[in-house]
C-alpha cells in the first residue's frame, strides 16, 4: 500500500466545490495495477498501470466519485476502494413563485403590526441538496418598507458545497388600498341595493296604477317621460339592435327557440327569443366589466381564463330569473284555470254560449289567465272557429288540463252532447287533482326542505371557510391533485342532486 497526495483513498469528502487531485503511488513490489473511477455509481474512467508508477486522478465535475484499485503482486491480488468524494460545482437556483411578474415583487405598504416573510414569494432549489427555500436570507432588514417606491431586494442562498446564488428583485411598495377597497365595495353594494329597491318601488307603483286605473277618472295625460322610462327605452333599443346582429347566426337562432316561452312574461321589452339571448350576452359582458374593475382596484393582472368564469356566470344568470318567473307564471295559470272552468260551467248552466262564457271569464278574472281569455275572445270576434281558438290557446299555455279542455270542446262542437255535464266532470277532476297536489305538498314539504338544505350546505360551507381563511382551499385549485379532487367532488355532488331529485319527484 502506498500513500496518497492530497486526499487519502479512504478519506470521505462530504461536499466541496473545489477540484480534487488525488495521487496514488503503490509500493515497489507491485508489478501492475488497474483502476476504475466510478462517477454516480457508473464507470467513468478505467486504466492499467505497469509497475509501481504514480497515478494522478483529477476530479473536476459535479458528481459522486469513488476509486477502485486492483493491485497485482506476483500471484497475489488485492482490491482496495477509496472513500466517497462529493463534488458540487453548480450553484443553487432562486426563482420567483409567480414567474409571470419576472423580477418585480409588488406588495402593499405593511402596517405597524404586520410582518412580511419574503421567502413566501420565492423558491430555492439545488440539484444535490433539494429544496433550500428555508435557508434563503435577504437584505429585507436593511430596507425601509414604510417608504413607497421601488427598492432592491437581494436574496442569497448557499448549498453544502459552498456554492452561493443570489437574485436581485425589484421590490415595489404601493399604498395599502384595503380600507379604500372595502369602502368602495360597500358603496357599490349600497348602490346596488338602492337600484334594486327603486326598481321594486317602480314596479309596485305601476301595478298599483293599473289596479286603480279602472276606478278613477283619467285626467289630462302627462306626456313627460321619467328618467327611468328613458333608461328602459334606451336599453330596449340597444337590446333589439344586438338581437338583430345575433340573428344572423343560425346556431343562435336555434338556441333562441328555447326562450320563446318566456316572451309573454316580458312584453313589450322582448319581441322574440333572440331578445332574451341578447340580454344574456349583455349580462355576461357586464359581469366581465365588473371583474376587470375589481381586479384593477386590487392591482391584479388578470389572465384570459379568469374572465371566462364571470362571463359564464353573467350569461347564465338571467336563466335563473327566467325560470323562476316562468314557474310562478305557470303556477298562477294552473290556479286560475280551475276558476275559469267554474265560471264557464256556471255560464253554461245559465244558458249562455261558449263565446259568452269566454267573455264572462275575461270580466270575472284578473291576471295572466284573464289576458289569455281576452285573446281568445278577440280571436272569436274576428271569426276564428271555436276549435281553432282553443287549439291556439292550448299551444300558448301548454298545460295538460287545457289540452283536455280543448279536446272536450272540439268533440262537443262536432258531435254535440251535454256540455254542462262534461264541464262539471272536468271541474270535479281538476278540483280533486288540485286537492291531491296540496295534500302531497303538505306531506313532502318537510322532506323537500331537508333536501334543499343539504343542497345548499356544501356551497355555504365553502363560502364561509373562504371568507374566514381565504388560503384554506388554495391547494384544491392550484395543484394537479387538488384539481382532480375538485372534479371528483363536483361529479359526486351533481350525481347526488340528480338522484335525490329523481327520488323526490312525484308524477301525478
Cα 63 from Cα 450, distance rounded (Å): 65
> Could you tell me what percent of the chain has a pLDDT over 90?
0
Tell me the pLDDT of the chain averaged across its residues: 79
Three cell numbers, residue 28: 515497489
Query: What is residue 100's predicted lDDT score, i.e. its pLDDT?
Result: 60
Cα 169 from Cα 151, distance rounded (Å): 8
pLDDT digits (tens, 9 = 90+) for 435-450: 888 787 777 777 778 8
Cα 117 from Cα 137, distance rounded (Å): 11
> Residue 278: is it exposed, middle or buried by C-beta count within 10 angstroms (0-12/13-18/19+)?
buried
Asked whether 330 and 317 are in contact (CB, 8 A), the reply is no
pLDDT digits (tens, 9 = 90+) for 42-61: 888 888 888 888 888 888 88
Of 20, 300, 56, nearest to 161 (Cα)? 20
Query: What is residue 4's predicted lDDT score, i.e. its pLDDT?
Result: 38
Query: What is residue 185's predicted lDDT score, i.e. its pLDDT?
Result: 65
Asked whether 175 and 109 are in contact (CB, 8 A), the reply is yes
> Could you tell me what percent of the chain has a pLDDT over 70?
87
Query: What is residue 467's predicted lDDT score, i.e. its pLDDT?
Result: 74
- Name all contacts of 503-507 with Cβ < 8 Å and 24+ positions apart: 504/444, 504/447, 504/448, 504/451, 506/440, 506/444
Least confident of 303-307, 327-331, 482-486: 303-307
pLDDT digits (tens, 9 = 90+) for 278-327: 888 888 888 888 777 776 665 555 666 667 778 888 888 888 888 888 88
Question: Which of the two residues, 348 and 182, has the higher pLDDT score?
Answer: 348
Query: What is residue 327's predicted lDDT score, i.e. its pLDDT?
Result: 85
- Neighbouring C-alpha atoms within 13 Å toward the C-beta of 15: 14
Is residue 3 very low, low, confident or very high in pLDDT (cuts 50, 70, 90)?
A: very low
Q: What's the average model confidence in pLDDT over 252-273?
A: 83
Distances (CA, A) of 447 to 358, 454, 455, 501: 41, 11, 12, 11
Is residue 177 very low, low, confident or very high in pLDDT (cuts 50, 70, 90)?
A: low
Cα 89 from Cα 127, distance rounded (Å): 11
Q: Are strands 164-174 and 149-158 parallel, antiparallel or unpaired?
A: antiparallel
Cα 474 from Cα 482, distance rounded (Å): 9
pLDDT digits (tens, 9 = 90+) for 235-251: 788 888 888 888 888 88
Cα 456 from Cα 449, distance rounded (Å): 11
Of 84, 65, 80, nearest to 27 (Cα)? 80
Cα 439 from Cα 445, distance rounded (Å): 10
Is residue 14 very low, low, confident or very high in pLDDT (cuts 50, 70, 90)?
A: low
Question: Which of the two residues, 414 and 64, has the higher pLDDT score?
Answer: 64
Using left for φ > 0, alpha for ψ between -120 and 50, and beta otherwise, residue 53 falls in beta
Residues ≥6 apart with Cβ < 8 Å to 397:
333, 372
Asked whether 68 and 79 are in contact (CB, 8 A), the reply is yes
Query: What is residue 9's predicted lDDT score, i.e. its pLDDT?
Result: 61
Range from 140-149, 284-293, 488-497 that averages highest in pLDDT: 488-497
Query: What is residue 299's predicted lDDT score, i.e. its pLDDT?
Result: 55
Question: Which of the two residues, 4 and 173, has the higher pLDDT score?
Answer: 173
Cell 347564465 belongs to 316
Query: What is residue 167's predicted lDDT score, i.e. its pLDDT?
Result: 86
Query: What is residue 67's predicted lDDT score, i.e. its pLDDT?
Result: 86
Query: What is residue 217's predicted lDDT score, i.e. its pLDDT?
Result: 59
Helix, strand, coil percentages for the chain (3-state, nearest 5): 55, 20, 25
Query: What is residue 490's predicted lDDT score, i.e. its pLDDT?
Result: 87
Cα 74 from Cα 72, distance rounded (Å): 6
Query: What is residue 350's predicted lDDT score, i.e. its pLDDT?
Result: 84
pLDDT digits (tens, 9 = 90+) for 79-132: 888 878 888 888 888 888 776 666 777 777 777 666 777 777 888 888 777 888
Query: What is residue 2's predicted lDDT score, i.e. its pLDDT?
Result: 32
pLDDT digits (tens, 9 = 90+) for 178-235: 566 566 667 777 887 888 887 778 777 777 777 777 666 555 555 555 666 777 777 7
Of 91, 83, 90, 89, nearest to 38 (Cα)? 83
H/E stretch holding 65 reads: strand 63-73
pLDDT digits (tens, 9 = 90+) for 150-168: 888 888 988 887 888 888 8
Cα 450 from Cα 2, distance rounded (Å): 87
DSSP state, residue 263? G
Amino acid at each position: 500500500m502506498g500513500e496518497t497526495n492530497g486526499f487519502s483513498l479512504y478519506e470521505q469528502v462530504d461536499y466541496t466545490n473545489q477540484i480534487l487531485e488525488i495521487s496514488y503511488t503503490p509500493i515497489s513490489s507491485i508489478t501492475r495495477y488497474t483502476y476504475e473511477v466510478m462517477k454516480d455509481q457508473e464507470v467513468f474512467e478505467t486504466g492499467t498501470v505497469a509497475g509501481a508508477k504514480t497515478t494522478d486522478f483529477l476530479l473536476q465535475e459535479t458528481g459522486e466519485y469513488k476509486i477502485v484499485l486492483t493491485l497485482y503482486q506476483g500471484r497475489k491480488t488485492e482490491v482496495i476502494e477509496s472513500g466517497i468524494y462529493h463534488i458540487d460545482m453548480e450553484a443553487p437556483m432562486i426563482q420567483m413563485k409567480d414567474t409571470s411578474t419576472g423580477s418585480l415583487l409588488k406588495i402593499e405598504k405593511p402596517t405597524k403590526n404586520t410582518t412580511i416573510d419574503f421567502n413566501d414569494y420565492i423558491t430555492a432549489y439545488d440539484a444535490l441538496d433539494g429544496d433550500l427555500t428555508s435557508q434563503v436570507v435577504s437584505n429585507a432588514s436593511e430596507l425601509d418598507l414604510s417608504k413607497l417606491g421601488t427598492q432592491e431586494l437581494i436574496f442569497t442562498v448557499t448549498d453544502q458545497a459552498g456554492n452561493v446564488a443570489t437574485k436581485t428583485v425589484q421590490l415595489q411598495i404601493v399604498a395599502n388600498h384595503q380600507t379604500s377597497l372595502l369602502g368602495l365595495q360597500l358603496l357599490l353594494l349600497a348602490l346596488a341595493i338602492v337600484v334594486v329597491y327603486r326598481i321594486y318601488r317602480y314596479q309596485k307603483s305601476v301595478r298599483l296604477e293599473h289596479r286603480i286605473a279602472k276606478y278613477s277618472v283619467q285626467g289630462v295625460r302627462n306626456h313627460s317621460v321619467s328618467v327611468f322610462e328613458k333608461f328602459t327605452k334606451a336599453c330596449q333599443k340597444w337590446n333589439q339592435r344586438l338581437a338583430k346582429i345575433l340573428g344572423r347566426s343560425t346556431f343562435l337562432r336555434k338556441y333562441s327557440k328555447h326562450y320563446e316561452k318566456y316572451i309573454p312574461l316580458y312584453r313589450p321589452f322582448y319581441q322574440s327569443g333572440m331578445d332574451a339571448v341578447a340580454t344574456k350576452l349583455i349580462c355576461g359582458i357586464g359581469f366581465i366589466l365588473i371583474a376587470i374593475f375589481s381586479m384593477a382596484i386590487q392591482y391584479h393582472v388578470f389572465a384570459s381564463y379568469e374572465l371566462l368564469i364571470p362571463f359564464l356566470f353573467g350569461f347564465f344568470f338571467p336563466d335563473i330569473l327566467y325560470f323562476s318567473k316562468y314557474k310562478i307564471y305557470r303556477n298562477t295559470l294552473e290556479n286560475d284555470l280551475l276558476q275559469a272552468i267554474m265560471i264557464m260551467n256556471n255560464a253554461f248552466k245559465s244558458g249562455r254560449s261558449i263565446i259568452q262564457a269566454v267573455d264572462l271569464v275575461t270580466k270575472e278574472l284578473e291576471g295572466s289567465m284573464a289576458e289569455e281569455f281576452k285573446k281568445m275572445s278577440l280571436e272569436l270576434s274576428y271569426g276564428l272557429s271555436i276549435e281553432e281558438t282553443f287549439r291556439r290557446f292550448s299551444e300558448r299555455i301548454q298545460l295538460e288540463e287545457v289540452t283536455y279542455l280543448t279536446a272536450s270542446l272540439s268533440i262537443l262542437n262536432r258531435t254535440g252532447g251535454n256540455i254542462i255535464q262534461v264541464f262539471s266532470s272536468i271541474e270535479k277532476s281538476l278540483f280533486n287533482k288540485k286537492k291531491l297536489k296540496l295534500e302531497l305538498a303538505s306531506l313532502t314539504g318537510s322532506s323537500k326542505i331537508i333536501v334543499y338544505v343539504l343542497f345548499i350546505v356544501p356551497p355555504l360551507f365553502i363560502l364561509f371557510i373562504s371568507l374566514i381563511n381565504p388560503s384554506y382551499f388554495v391547494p384544491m385549485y392550484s395543484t394537479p391533485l387538488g384539481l382532480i379532487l375538485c372534479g371528483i367532488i363536483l361529479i359526486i355532488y351533481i350525481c347526488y342532486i340528480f338522484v335525490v331529485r329523481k327520488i323526490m319527484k312525484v308524477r301525478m
